[in-house]
Amino acid sequence: MDFANLAAQLNAGTILPEGIVIVTLLVVLVGDLIIGRASGRWIPYVTIAGLLGAIGALYFQWDHSDSIAFLGSFNGDALSIVFRGVIALSAAVTTLITVRYVEQSGTPLAEFLVILMTATLGGMFLSGADELVMVFVSLETLSISSYLLTGYMKRDPRSNEAALKYLLIGAASSAIFLYGVSLLYGLSGGETRLSQITAAILSSTGDQSIGAVIALVFVIAGIAFKIAAVPFHQWTPDVYEGSPTPVVAFLSVGSKAAGFALAIRLLVNAFPTVSEQWHFVLTALALLSMVLGNVVALAQTSMKRMLAYSSIAQAGFVMIGLVIGTDAGYASMVFYLLVYLFMNLGGFACVILFTLRTGTDEISEYSGLYQKDPLLTLCLSLCLLSLGGIPPLAGFFGKIYLFWAGWQAGAYTLVLVGLFTSVISIYYYIRVVKMMVVKEPEEMSEAVKNYPPIRWNLSGMRPLQVGLVICLVATTFAGILSNPLFNLANSSVTRTQFLQTPIAAIARPVAQIESSADQL
């Protein structure tokens, strides 16, 4: 294998978007080293430009037919392009809402953005990783950067504690995941590429089912940790409460999207012989996440904690699409993640803004905010209502599509539980909205009474305002004008080869799984 031949086989153009992110990362790092603290003025814009450049590069790769790169390590198919886009976009919006927060806390901005970009990079590679080693390395890139981001406010014991808990639980879950992966390597007789693992396992003789089931359980433990599905969710509320809020925003969108991308690729590809079992396990996880996430969110008094439980519940909704495993199911998952990106990041942008102005995130302190800051109230209300699924906001259409796809595929239990828990969720979202809007002036909380005058010209406030408005507009209109997003989600699924071949085999046992779930 000579060099020219090898270079042609690598098909390195596929990772151009990631390449752009890496170059941006190095520019920010070196630029900050050379210029010093003064670089804080241009660094966020370079970061955003780099991330948007990566999204642009992804756009131009949409039509490439030759998606396998690096001799099978990476598969840049349509599904991975959508997920990489979601992750890069969430990082870009997170950068917008980060600037003021980090500046106000006095921590260096450049390192924060560099670590954020590494996390983005890990997530993007994870979405397309088609080979066990690549899956592991990119998963760890994402995880280790997330631990670092979580502990970034190092003078604050809560941030330290959140980082320690996240690190210990995360490292343990990735070690367990890795044990499952090593079993997969053994079961397939020494293959690490996902497609070859499928072939090897299908053609193997003898009864490997117990090994496959154990590998499956261990792998699901790792994935469920990343997407924070019940019962692997215990870290979520603590980590969300103790981390810097922009980090939480990224973890709840970007990191989760990467987890879902991994789940689709790994489960569909590597576990064809136990597909009934994994559908069953995921059905249980989805039911538990929807019920527990929504019910516990009712009792929360801290906004960040409430959003943490709400994000657990949202992950449960998205898992409906994964479990039913039809074209419409995957497409509704992608669509919901696209919508969720804007409404959740919008919600967190509002929480950040309120925190920066008043220094608290208690739900009760929001009361009467309408009189002091109508824009913030409007934005937070719309994002929360959209998360709850009130028409005609974007979240409503996302949920309708998910439930419709589930109903079509015969997953009645999941859809009914989903509907019921959405009603619960509307209650706690509306409680916040009511608190902000309806209260009389005399019922205003202390924090709101001392609300500082609104000044958008402070350094770092403009990006936050821009991020807020972008999320607001997207949340409001993505529902009504959802056709482009809808088409994007659909064609990303129909153009992805690995989803097209096994779907016929998977679609069948759903009704069966449903009936066994009913007996639970």
Partner 1 sequence: MQLQYFLLLAAALFCIGIYGLVTSRNAIRVLMSIELLLNSVNLNLMAFSNFLDPQGIRGQVFAVFVITIAAAEAAVGLAIVLSIYRNRDTVDMEQFNLLKW
Partner 2 sequence: MPESTFGLRRYSENKIVNLADGVQLVSFLVLAAMMIGAAIGVVLLSNIVYSAFLLALVFISMSGMYILLNAGFVAAAQILIYVGAVNVLILFGIMLVNKRQDFVPLKNAWISQVATAGVCLGLFALLSTMVLATPWAISSLTPIGDEAIIEIGKHFFSDYLLPFELASILLLMALIGAIVLARRDYLPDEILGRDRPSEQPSALTLPERPRELISGGK
Terminal-residue alpha carbon distance, the chain: 56
The two tokens of residue 474 are: 């997207």
Q: Residue 196 touches which of partner 2, partner 1, none (CB < 5 to 8 A by kind)?
A: none
Instruction: State yes or no: residue 490 binds partner 2 (CB under 8 A).
Output: no
Does an H or E element contain 344, and which?
helix 327-358
Q: Residue 434 touches which of partner 1, partner 2, none (CB < 5 to 8 A by kind)?
A: none
If you ran DSSP here, which 8-state letter would residue 272 be given? S
Q: Which of 68, 91, 121, 162 binds partner 1 (CB under 8 A)?
A: 162
Cβ pair 198, 270 in contact under 8 A: yes
- Give the C-alpha distances (Å, rounded to integers) separating 98 from 43, 115, 244: 12, 13, 9
Residues 87-126 that bind partner 2 (CB under 8 A): 101, 104-108, 111, 114-115, 118, 121-122, 125
Q: Which of 211, 375, 424, 503 binds partner 2 (CB under 8 A)?
A: 211
**Pick 36 or 392: Cβ nearer partner 2:** 36
If you ran DSSP here, which 8-state letter would residue 74 be given? E
Per CB under 8 A, the segment of 56-64, 140-148, 249-257, 462-470 that binds partner 2 is: 140-148
**Pick 37 or 449: Cβ nearer partner 2:** 37
Q: Which of 19, 52, 104, 156 binds partner 1 (CB under 8 A)?
A: 156
Instruction: State yes or no: residue 168 binds partner 1 (CB under 8 A).
Output: yes
> Can you list the alpha helix ranges (DSSP code H) found in 129-234?
132-150, 157-187, 194-203, 209-227
Q: Which residue is associated with the tokens 């044990």?
A: 179
> In whole angstroms, what is the distance from residue 281 CA to residue 217 CA?
9
Per rule CB under 8 A, count of chain residues that contact partner 2: 70
Q: Residue 114 touches which of partner 2, partner 1, none (CB < 5 to 8 A by kind)?
A: partner 2
User: 435-457: buried (b, 16+ CB within 10 Å) or exposed (e) per residue?
Assistant: bbbebeeeebbebbeebeeeeee
Angle between helices 461-480 and 78-105 (to 10 degrees): 150
Per CB under 8 A, the segment of 54-62, 141-149, 442-450, 495-503 that binds partner 1 is: 141-149
Per CB under 8 A, the segment of 17-25, 80-88, 232-240, 271-279 that binds partner 1 is: 232-240
The two tokens of residue 150 are: 């979580």
Q: Residue 348 touches which of partner 2, partner 1, none (CB < 5 to 8 A by kind)?
A: none
Min. distance of Cβ 136 from partner 1 in angstroms?
7
Per CB under 8 A, the segment of 10-18, 39-47, 154-162, 253-261 that binds partner 1 is: 154-162
Instruction: State yes or no: residue 182 binds partner 1 (CB under 8 A).
Output: yes
Instruction: State yes or no: residue 480 binds partner 2 (CB under 8 A).
Output: no
Instruction: State yes or no: residue 465 binds partner 2 (CB under 8 A).
Output: no
**Pick 153 or 253: Cβ nearer partner 2:** 153
The two tokens of residue 77 are: 């198919």
Does an H or E element contain 69, and which?
strand 68-69
**Pick 189 or 441: Cβ nearer partner 2:** 189
Report the sign of the C-alpha dihedral through residues 153, 156, 159, 161, in that order: positive
> In whole angstroms, what is the distance from residue 195 CA to residue 337 CA?
26
Residues 345-404 that bind partner 2 (CB under 8 A): 355-356, 359-362
> Can you list the alpha helix ranges (DSSP code H) found in 228-274?
235-242, 245-250, 256-270
> In whole angstroms, what is the distance from residue 506 CA to residue 272 CA?
9
Q: Which residue is associated with the tokens 């992608």?
A: 334
Per CB under 8 A, the segment of 47-55, 161-169, 311-319, 413-421 that binds partner 1 is: 161-169
Question: How many other C-beta atoms lie within 10 A of the C-beta of residue 7?
Answer: 10
Instruction: State yes or no: residue 449 binds partner 2 (CB under 8 A).
Output: no
Give the angle 162-168-169 at the CA atoms, nearest 5°: 90
> In whole angstroms, what is the distance from residue 359 CA to residue 177 CA?
39
Residues that bind partner 2 (CB under 8 A): 1, 6, 10, 15, 22, 25, 29, 37, 69-74, 101, 104-108, 111, 114-115, 118, 121-122, 125, 131, 133-134, 136-138, 140-141, 144-145, 148, 151-156, 158-159, 163, 186-187, 189-190, 204-208, 210-211, 214, 242, 244-245, 302, 304, 355-356, 359-362
Residues that bind partner 1 (CB under 8 A): 132-133, 136-137, 140, 144, 147-148, 151, 154-158, 160-165, 167-168, 171-172, 175-176, 178-179, 182-183, 185-186, 189-192, 234, 237-238, 241-242
